[in-house]
Amino acid sequence: MFAYEFMRNAFWAATFIAITCGVVGVYVVARNFSFLAHTLSEIGFAGAAFAVLMGLKPLTGMLIFALLGSIGVGELSMRTEQKESSISAISALFVGLGILFLSLSSSASSYATNILFGSIIGVSRSSVYQLVGLSIIVLILILAIQRPINYDSFDHIGAVAHHLNTGLVGVLFLVALAMAVSIGSQVVGSMLVFVLLTMPPSTAKYLGKSIPSMIAWSVGLALAGVWIGLCLGYITNWPVTFFISIIEVGAYLSVYFTHSRRKRV
Amino acid sequence: MSKALQVVDLSMKFGDQEIFNKLNFSLEQGSMTALLGPNGAGKTTLVRILMGMLTPTKGYYDLADDVKVGYVPQFRNIDPDYPLSIRSFIELNTPFFKSQKVKDQVNHILQETYLKGLADIRMGEASGGQKQRAYLAQALLDQPNFIILDEATASLDPKAKEELMNLIAHLNEEHKMTVLFVTHDLALAKRYMKDYLYLSGGTVQQGKMADFKERFN
């Protein structure tokens, strides 16, 4: 399997993306941002489609749209009372725009499939470098703000009482999230990037009792999902995204039910 | 005794609604004061001003130079699925890589708040009393010498209330910590607090807890 360069590239890219999504996801779940992450991936989809129309790389368009969208949607989700409805409206608008951009460009169907459902097997060496570089930037950003982001994400009221600049922390986290969504979409596609961003950390919530242990579980589960998914995809020729989804959802459900049963006893 | 806090002509309005007008009072260092008053009298607003989270419309307050304030807010978002252990919750405002000094400090505070043997329990699964002690422990990690607690006993059963109040009394007596305790529970205040501040109708009265005669909801 590793004799093929495309498989080696896929493993490298998937490894870094899993680490990034595993780390960022712990904060997505702690801040109840799962829905926001999903919306950002849809905004990213429109960005990627726009880039295709303009003859740019889909990742570039996705990054620009997701970064701009993260600030707008983040502001909205923090200030508006109709939080869910307004985010839904933005989601709908950007999915609509994405479809329009794709239909206006000539290579609609293959690009649409790649953007929506992932195309990890087709990742080139230069894309791998790009994804690894972006992953490292996200991880450095999270590490740089780890103390305030830990406090704000896991005890917002305590953080405010401690005069922490929670607004700034929130914006920096949205930037990290937008980047994680954009790079995560390269593996599982924008439709399912929230699988990597929410499932491993949601499972980790039941397995770890401290932030480092939750991050370790979340990254471990994300890595297991993408590695096993890639192997199974290679063997069966079925979509890698399908395997990643069922592995992550399966892990979540089994841990959730074990935890519920233990709580009842 | 020197003053820990001096409040001068402090007024607060939200739009046209006056919360209080020209409050004047001071708290001695090492004092133990209940902040009493009916619902909506502005107790939490006053505390939030003292914590620098709100700006008063007029007037000012002065904290002594050597005073370091710790604050335990009224509400926290800890649902039953909240994952962090009591220890991890208390450590939230510490660096990711903790020095031995920080670890020792956390252990000492866990001991002092009777949480040592419970440190690995998840906050979501802890009892109301354990949670309140953890909130207090988190505030104590900053090593304050003045602690403000907002309705800390409101949702606790009688035994947990007593445990928390004994802990607060211990902090006041052993560590000479100034305490400002916002509460509705008059019986509890009479039992544990020495002084009172009574906020009602936009004004404040101050005196010894034993002399408090007002009634309120």
ipTM given for this complex = 0.90
B216 and chain A: CB distance < 8 Å anywhere?
A: no
Q: Give chain A's mean pLDDT.
A: 88
Encode pLDDT of A204-234 as tens digits: 999 999 999 999 999 999 999 999 999 999 9
How far B189 CA lies from chain A's nearest CA (Å)? 24
What domains are defined for chain B? 1-68+145-212 (3.40.50.300), 80-143 (no CATH)
Question: Cα-Cα-Cα-Cα dihedral of A165, A170, A171, A177, to 10°?
Answer: 150
With H, G, I as helix, E, B as strand and everything else as coil, classify residue B21.
Answer: strand
Check A151 against B92: CB less than 8 A apart.
Answer: yes
| Residue A265 domain flag | no
The mean pLDDT value for B61-77 works out to 91
How many CA within 13 A on the CB side of residue B81?
A: 11
| Residue A110 domain flag | yes
Encode pLDDT of A141-166 as tens digits: 999 999 999 999 999 999 999 889 98
With H, G, I as helix, E, B as strand and everything else as coil, classify residue A7.
Answer: helix
Q: Taking 80 as the threshold, does the pLDDT of residue A24 lie above it? A: yes
Contacts of A210 in chain B (CB under 8 A): 84-85, 87-88
What's the total number of domains in chain A? 1
| Residue A264 domain flag | no
Interface-testing mutation among B92, B122, B151, with chain A (most A C-beta atoms within 10 A)? B92
| Residue A14 domain flag | yes
Cβ contact A102:A154 at 8 Å: no
Structure letter (DSSP) for residue B211: G
Check B75 against A157: CB less than 8 A apart.
Answer: yes
Residue B136 identity: L
Q: Taking 90 as the threshold, does the pLDDT of residue A20 lie above it? A: yes
Confidence of residue B139 (pLDDT cuts 50, 70, 90): very high
Confidence of residue B217 (pLDDT cuts 50, 70, 90): low
How far A213 CA lies from chain B's nearest CA (Å)? 10
Contacts of B52 in chain A (CB under 8 A): 163
Q: Helix crossing, A146-154 with A5-30: angle to 10°?
A: 50
Check A160 against B93: CB less than 8 A apart.
Answer: no
Facing A209 at nearest CB: one of B51, B73, B88: B88
Domain of A83 in residue numbering reads as: 5-258
Structure letter (DSSP) for residue B32: E
Stretch 134-173 of chain B: residues touching chain A, C-beta under 8 Å: 135, 138, 142
Interface-testing mutation among A23, A145, A150, A152, with chain B (most B C-beta atoms within 10 A)? A150
This prediction's pTM: 0.91
Structure letter (DSSP) for residue A81: S
B94 and chain A: CB distance < 8 Å anywhere?
A: yes
| Residue A240 domain flag | yes
Residue A137 belongs to a domain with what CATH number? Answer: 1.10.3470.10
Q: Taking 70 as the threshold, does the pLDDT of residue B1 lie above it? A: no
The mean pLDDT value for B8-21 works out to 92
- Predicted confidence at residue A77, as pLDDT, reads 66
B6-to-B50, B65, B81 alpha-carbon distances in Å = 10, 12, 42
